Each structure stands twice: as structure tokens, then as C-alpha cells.
Amino acid sequence: MRVVTASDQESASNYAMKGFAIGIAQWATVGIFASGLLYAFAPWYRRTQTVNKFYIVMCFGLGGGAYKSDRYMVNYERRGRAEMLDAETRRRYDLIYGGKSDEQEEAKKVSAST
């Protein structure tokens, strides 16, 4: 799906940022859990400076946020492409078989004539 209007671009951006926020929360939690395990079982990790521990957790969060943001953007594009295909299929079906509006107009003509 191509983002052509400013509102489409804004909508895609907001959806990707939602994915980034969810990803950073999930993977920062994983990073904190891993850091806790390392602190409990690895003496070398206990000696590591707090700043470096923060960077390790931050890398988990940023990596997870980037991954989830990309997944959300791909899903947004797929959903838009599917909607466009559905609209085109409906348009072609209406051209070949006639749409609901044609049936409604005929029903009104029949009811008006009786």
C-alpha cells in the first residue's frame, strides 16, 4: 500500500509508533528479567557498572521496539492492500452482476408502478 495523503502517512506513523511502544515495553521487561538473572548467578555481572547494566537493558528495549514497529508497519501495509483488493473486487463484481443499488432502484420502480 502506498501512503499518498498526509492523513494516511500520519495514520501509518501512529500505528508504527504504537508498535514501537509495545515492543519497547515487552523487550525492556525481558532485558530487566535477564539482567536480574545475570545479577543473581554471574559474579562478573555484579561487578559491572550500573551504567553498563542500563545500556544492556536499553539495547533489549530499543531492539524490540524497532522489531515490533517494523512488524506493525508491515501489517498496516498488508491490511491496506487487502482493503484495496476487496474494493476492486467489489467494483468488478458490481460491474458484472450489478450492484445492490441497481437492485434497490428496480425494486423502487416496481413498487411505484403498483
Residue by residue, pLDDT tens for the chain (114 residues) are 565 788 888 988 999 999 999 999 999 999 999 999 999 999 999 999 999 999 999 999 999 999 999 999 999 988 888 888 888 888 888 888 877 766 666 667 667 766
Residue 93 pLDDT: 84
Q: How far apart are CA 114 and CA 112, in angstroms?
A: 6
pLDDT number for residue 87: 84
Q: What is the pTM of this model?
A: 0.70
Structure-block grid coordinates of residue 25: 515495553
- Report the pLDDT value the prediction gives residue 41, as an integer from 0 to 100: 96
Non-local CB neighbours of 94 within 8 Å, separated by 6+ positions:
102
The domain ranges of the chain are 6-113
Report the alpha-carbon distance of residue 46 to residue 51 in Å, rounded: 12
Q: Where are the beta strands (DSSP E) in the chain?
A: none
